[in-house]
Amino acid sequence: MQPKVAIIMGSHSDWETMKESVLVLEALGVPCHKEIVSAHRSPELMVDFAKTAKSKGFEIIIAGAGGAAHLPGMVASLTDLPVLGVPVKSSQLNGLDSLLSIVQMPGGVPVGTLAIGAAGAKNAGLLAARILALRDESLSRKLEEYRTKLREEALSKNDLLS
C-alpha cells in the first residue's frame, strides 16, 4: 500500500520527536514514508521532494524541524499538499525558536503548526489521520475507537484520587 503521509525531518536528531507521528499512524494502520530532508544541508533534495510529493501519491506532509526550522515553510511554498509543521525542541531555546519559525508564515503559504516536541508530533499524526478519514470510513472508525480508549484511560484515573 502506497503511503499517503510523508514524515520528513531536518536531521536524524529530530527522529526522537518525529517517531511519535509514525507510532500513531502505524497504530491506526496508516502507512507512512520517513525521510531526512534538510532545508539547509540538502536544499536540492528538499525542493525535489516537495515538487514531486503529490505525484508520488502523498496526500499530507508532516515536517519536523528545530532551530531555524525552515523545512515546513519551505516545503509548503513548493507544494499544494497540506503541510503540518512540528517544532522540535532545540537545546538553545527549548523549541520556542522552532515554534516561532514555523508558525510565522506569510499569508498565502499555510503550515498547520502543532505543539513543540513529542506532543506536537503525536498530534500531527492524529491530524493527518483525521484528514485522511474524511474519505476513509474504516480509518474514521479506528479514530473513534482511539478516542474512546483515551477517554476510558482518563476516566479510569478517577480511582487514583481516593
Buried residues in 141-153 as b, exposed as e (16+ CB within 10 A) = ebbeeeeeeeeee
151 is in an annotated binding site: no
Grid coordinates standing for 12?
A: 536524524
41 is in an annotated binding site: yes
Binding residues: 11, 14, 41
Binding residues for substrate: 11, 14, 41
